[in-house]
Amino acid sequence: MMVLLIYSYMNGCFSSREIEKLMRRDCVCMRIVGMGRIPDHSTIDRFIRNSHDAIADIMRQSVMKLMELGELDGQAVFQDGTKIESAAGKYTFVWRTGCEKNLAKALMRGFRDFKFIWP
């Protein structure tokens, strides 16, 4: 179940219903769990709630291993910087200097959001 959870998070599915839907349509998930044995959203939710500490520990260990292998340096957090201009939002660009000034606030929001995902 942990492998499926990590795979789901990598594919942007965070809610138990989204994860269930991914398991029903994704060939990789079907292969991992076996055809016809896909857990429903309540089982997935129960697993996440009951295994919260273990899941957080595995994620921590994964980050530490990636740092040990040199894949992560722990110095920077990246976010997509795509800017799309529209007629309605002509003056809504976020400039680099503004982002640099508010980096600490953005990091705290990110940690808060992460705690929301991992209560």
pLDDT tens for residues 93-111? 666 677 677 777 767 777 6
In the prediction, which pLDDT does 47 show? 92
Q: How confident is the model at residue 52 (pLDDT cuts 50, 70, 90)?
A: confident
Confidence category of residue 115, pLDDT binned at 50, 70, 90 = low
Mean pLDDT of 2-14: 87
Residues 29-48 as b or e (16 or more Cβ within 10 Å = b): beeeeeeeebbeeeebbebb
Length of the chain: 119
The residue type found at 102 is N
Residue 27 has pLDDT above 70, yes or no: yes
Tokens 């920077």, residue located? 76
Q: Radius of gyration over alpha carbons of the chain, in Å? A: 18
Cα distances from 16 to residues 3, 13, 62, 104, in angstroms, run: 14, 8, 22, 31
Of the candidates 78, 72, 75, which has an alpha carbon nearest to the alpha carbon of residue 99? 78
Q: Quote the CA–CA distance of 58 and 69 in Å, as a whole number.
A: 16
Over 70: is that where the pLDDT of 8 sits? yes
> Can you give the pTM of this predicted structure?
0.55
